[in-house]
Chains A and B, each alone.
Chain A
Amino acid sequence: MLYFSKLRVFSVLIFTLIISYFTISNFTKIDDDYFSKNIKLGLDLQGGSYLLLEIDNNPVIVQRLQSKVLELKKFFKDKNIKIRNFSIKDQSIFFDVNVMKKEEVLSLLDDDKSEINTYFQQFKSHEFDIENEDNSFKLTYSDYGLVLLKNSSLDQAIETVRRRVDEVGTNEPNILKRGNDRILVELPGLDDPGRIKSLLGKTANLTFQFVATNQEQSFGTELLQYESGDREAIVSKRIIISGDNLVDAKPTMNNQTNETVVSFSLDRVGARKFGKATSSGVGKSLAIILDGKIISSPTVQEPIVGGNGQISGDFTFQSATDLALLLRSGALPAPLNIIEERTVGPDLGKDSINAGIMSLIIGFILVVAFMFYKYRFFGLIANLALISNLFLLVGILTLFEATLTLPGIAGIILTVGMAVDANVLIFERIKEELKNENNSIIAFDSGYTKSRTTILDANITTLIAAVILFFMGSGPIKGFSITLGIGILTTLFSVYFIARLITAYYVIKNKHKEKLI
């Protein structure tokens, strides 16, 4: 165990130096991506906001079911089968048929190749589960059908979220999928997420609909509240244009009224539709509806054909800017709920870094002093291993751009405390071996050999704990498991390559000296 080939010594040195270089590069300022990397600080250290959003897919499901109902109605009408009592309840479609036709309906619904089962042709499984009792049917989304629906709405939502966050212009936001209905948004450096939260909390479904001339509720109209909350109006359900037709929106000043408005431009299809509707609707009130609430309902003075228009509605400059941003970034497929939020102010982050570094230095000094007191010269060897261990650990964290969190710093300090264990096990074993063995080289050699399985066992147990934490933990805790886990590997390296190398040199040089350790 004490023999090292020249090549091995060389590679250990080179490896240690390269990794240590990355540790040092954290403290230098070189503008080069390959040679100067910096450790990534977690949100708890640099300050910032962590938001976990969950999509509420219920509206999407209901919407899809509505269009499925239309599809089924048409399909069965073409087949001359009478369907009664279509309704949507509890995310399911209900309908009744004549008992005589029951078997036929069932086989049609089950037919893989039918035009109402396009889903099956694509994915080889049914989009809906069918339940049948006497003459009534119940169609519910199957697990597969739901997965596809959720995935596509998540994909859409994440795009919209990304556009909105980018528009606000925070630095290096991190937007990730979590499961099949959640989005994780990390916003480094942001200490007041209020604005982002209000932007992400809006679906931003914009529609233009005429206010009904006859203010009585009927089929084809709906009663909507004004944004201000003090009025309501009955509007036609027919949508003239929606937010999808918008190509741009920005806040501007209306020179005549001197109020802040949002001006928008429409794509070609939108402009044509809008022109047609406003030409025939001069004198009518046009309701501008955002997420089910009327922002304003100006009267159409003249046809608007150019594809440009303005939305007014008691905006401040800020709210006009936000509305324009929402309109530019497009609507969310479904509402998002913020189910977890963690925000750390930048000065707390700085305090945490300082406290972390302080306790690292003090913990390190205490351990180093204790080891020197206990083992003298060999204490120095262990301490040298400990220092290189720290350099390796921080270097690897930097190289792999791992995220350092406050618990991660605690993991580094804990590594300092536990890392000496391996050297202690070896030194104690060597002491025992020296009692029965006069040749110190043999005693050192068997000390290393005999302690090896114990050291491996002892470190693997901690590594198991770190790996489980890595997979089960989140955010800051994950940072702890990373430093703890990598710390074990660098500990083993520094003990078996660096400390052993120095020990070997020392012992071979001083093999005749009494009481080596």
Chain B
Amino acid sequence: MKTIYFNKFYKSFNILSGILIIVSLVFLIFKGLNFGVDFKGGTLIELRTDKSSANITKIRDSFNQMNLGDVSVKNFGNETDFVVKFEKQNSNDPKFIDELKTKLSNSIGSVDFRRVENVGPKVSAELLRSGVIAIALSLAAMLLYIWIRFEWQFSLGAILALFHDVIITLGVFSVFSLEINLSIVAAVLTIVGYSMNDTVVIFDRVRENLRKYADIKIFELTNISINETLSRTIITSVTTLLALLSIFIFGGEILKGFSLAMILGVIFGTYSSIYIANPVLVSLKVSQRTIVKEEKE
């Protein structure tokens, strides 16, 4: 197979990644994330209306009259389904939901509440905390694992690649105001696993080649390793993306955010394994001595 000179573009793609990360961070800091009821608290109602009777404006108007705080109404999947979110959560009043339903039916005709989620402020704060802890813990666990399996230069490269993927994926969610809920946390954790997996495959090859060729510089060596594992990288990304696309298109509205985050994560994860993880090895001047020294100890 023809060799592709990935290493020629290390610099330019590093600059691109740097820009993307800065843009993502700026958005994350100044615009923030659009937290769903899981993390912000409040009420979510997924409702289905009679075919003819309702549209977004009508539903929004009738909810606005009920004094519930900030109400957001979105179409959900097909034209009769809507998701309504508002800050007020009144789960202790057992009639709260029933009353909403009655009031709504009076103004827009018969509605069916297909899903109701009601999360109190204490629980949402806890969920947010445990989500952040889970992501931090998984990053730490990956760092530890790769540190045990490889030399520190490799762990640094892999972890930078992970941060890159997580920050840019969250950045995209911030730019487009996509909702962050519990399943996005699951997606981010899986991205961490996938991205690591991809990086490890290339690193394994880099290490093998380091043992084999004493006289090839790391700049060249990473490129050889990337090329040798390239068809695997492509095939695995393609099959994973095929599965995820299938969830995204056919899996229903509830899994949309999750599969979108995963799709972004797989793309960034594949990219970062090549263009973040490897340049780190180059700039840390990894050579045969790096691994031989470690192995002697």
A341-B116, A359-B250, A461-B193 known; A476+B134 contact, CB < 8 A: no
Does B226 have its Cβ within 8 Å of any Cβ on chain A? no
The reply to whether A457 and B149 contact each other, CB–CB distance below 8 Å, is yes
The reply to whether A370 and B186 contact each other, CB–CB distance below 8 Å, is no
Partner of B250, one of A358, A424, A425, A472: A358
The distance in angstroms between the C-alpha atoms of A265 and B232, with both chains bound, is 76
Cβ of A133 to closest chain B Cβ, rounded Å: 34
Partner of A356, one of B196, B229, B251: B251
The distance in angstroms between the C-alpha atoms of A351 and B186, with both chains bound, is 22
The reply to whether A417 and B200 contact each other, CB–CB distance below 8 Å, is no
Cβ of A446 to closest chain B Cβ, rounded Å: 13
Q: Mark out the residues of chain A between 453 and 501 whose CB falls within 8 Å of any chain B CB in the assembled complex.
A: 453-454, 457-466, 468-469, 472-474, 476-477, 480-481, 484
The reply to whether A410 and B114 contact each other, CB–CB distance below 8 Å, is no
Does A344 have its Cβ within 8 Å of any Cβ on chain B? yes
Does A407 have its Cβ within 8 Å of any Cβ on chain B? yes
The reply to whether A461 and B142 contact each other, CB–CB distance below 8 Å, is yes
The reply to whether A458 and B200 contact each other, CB–CB distance below 8 Å, is yes
The distance in angstroms between the C-alpha atoms of A461 and B145, with both chains bound, is 8
The distance in angstroms between the C-alpha atoms of A358 and B246, with both chains bound, is 9
Q: Which residues of A contact B141 (CB under 8 A)?
A: 464, 468
Q: Which residues of B contact A241 (CB under 8 A)?
A: none
Does B244 have its Cβ within 8 Å of any Cβ on chain A? yes
Q: Which residues of A contact B112 (CB under 8 A)?
A: 345, 347
The distance in angstroms between the C-alpha atoms of A466 and B190, with both chains bound, is 7
The reply to whether B183 and A359 contact each other, CB–CB distance below 8 Å, is no
The reply to whether B250 and A417 contact each other, CB–CB distance below 8 Å, is no
The distance in angstroms between the C-alpha atoms of A416 and B242, with both chains bound, is 10
Q: Which residues of B contact A198 (CB under 8 A)?
A: 94-95
The distance in angstroms between the C-alpha atoms of A428 and B249, with both chains bound, is 31
A339-B91, A341-B116 known; A462+B190 contact, CB < 8 A: yes
Say which one of B61-69, B255-263, B280-288 lies at the interface with A: B255-263
Q: Mark out the residues of chain A between 391 and 439 whose CB falls within 8 Å of any chain B CB in the assembled complex.
A: 406-407, 409-410, 413-414, 416-418, 420-421, 424-425, 428, 432
Partner of A418, one of B134, B137, B201, B240: B240
The reply to whether A458 and B201 contact each other, CB–CB distance below 8 Å, is yes
The distance in angstroms between the C-alpha atoms of A472 and B130, with both chains bound, is 6
Does A292 have its Cβ within 8 Å of any Cβ on chain B? no
The reply to whether A473 and B114 contact each other, CB–CB distance below 8 Å, is no
A201-B94, A348-B115, A359-B250 known; A465+B238 contact, CB < 8 A: no
Cβ of B261 to closest chain A Cβ, rounded Å: 11
The reply to whether B232 and A406 contact each other, CB–CB distance below 8 Å, is no
Q: Which residues of A contact B137 (CB under 8 A)?
A: 468, 472
Interface size on B, residues (CB 8 A): 71
A367-B242, A462-B194, A468-B137 known; A345+B182 contact, CB < 8 A: no
The reply to whether A453 and B204 contact each other, CB–CB distance below 8 Å, is yes
The distance in angstroms between the C-alpha atoms of A54 and B149, with both chains bound, is 45
The distance in angstroms between the C-alpha atoms of A432 and B224, with both chains bound, is 13
A407-B258, A458-B200, A461-B200 known; A418+B194 contact, CB < 8 A: yes
Does B92 have its Cβ within 8 Å of any Cβ on chain A? yes
The reply to whether B197 and A355 contact each other, CB–CB distance below 8 Å, is no
The reply to whether A343 and B116 contact each other, CB–CB distance below 8 Å, is yes
Partner of B255, one of A339, A370, A407: A407
Does A313 have its Cβ within 8 Å of any Cβ on chain B? no
The reply to whether A406 and B123 contact each other, CB–CB distance below 8 Å, is no
The reply to whether B200 and A413 contact each other, CB–CB distance below 8 Å, is no
The reply to whether B229 and A428 contact each other, CB–CB distance below 8 Å, is yes
The distance in angstroms between the C-alpha atoms of A280 and B140, with both chains bound, is 74
The reply to whether A194 and B247 contact each other, CB–CB distance below 8 Å, is no
Does B138 have its Cβ within 8 Å of any Cβ on chain A? yes
Does B214 have its Cβ within 8 Å of any Cβ on chain A? no
Does A337 have its Cβ within 8 Å of any Cβ on chain B? yes
Cβ of B253 to closest chain A Cβ, rounded Å: 9
Partner of A340, one of B119, B131, B238, B252: B119
Q: Which residues of A contact B200 (CB under 8 A)?
A: 454, 457-458, 461
Q: Which residues of B contact A406 (CB under 8 A)?
A: 252, 254-255
Partner of B134, one of A345, A359, A469: A469
The reply to whether A359 and B249 contact each other, CB–CB distance below 8 Å, is yes
Does B221 have its Cβ within 8 Å of any Cβ on chain A? no
| Interchain Cβ contacts under 8 Å between A and B, 14 examples | A195-B94, A337-B120, A338-B92, A343-B115, A355-B251, A358-B251, A417-B242, A428-B232, A457-B204, A458-B197, A461-B142, A464-B145, A469-B190, A474-B182
Q: Which 8 A-B pairs have the closest CB atoms?
A: A417-B243, A363-B246, A465-B193, A355-B252, A198-B94, A197-B94, A472-B134, A462-B193
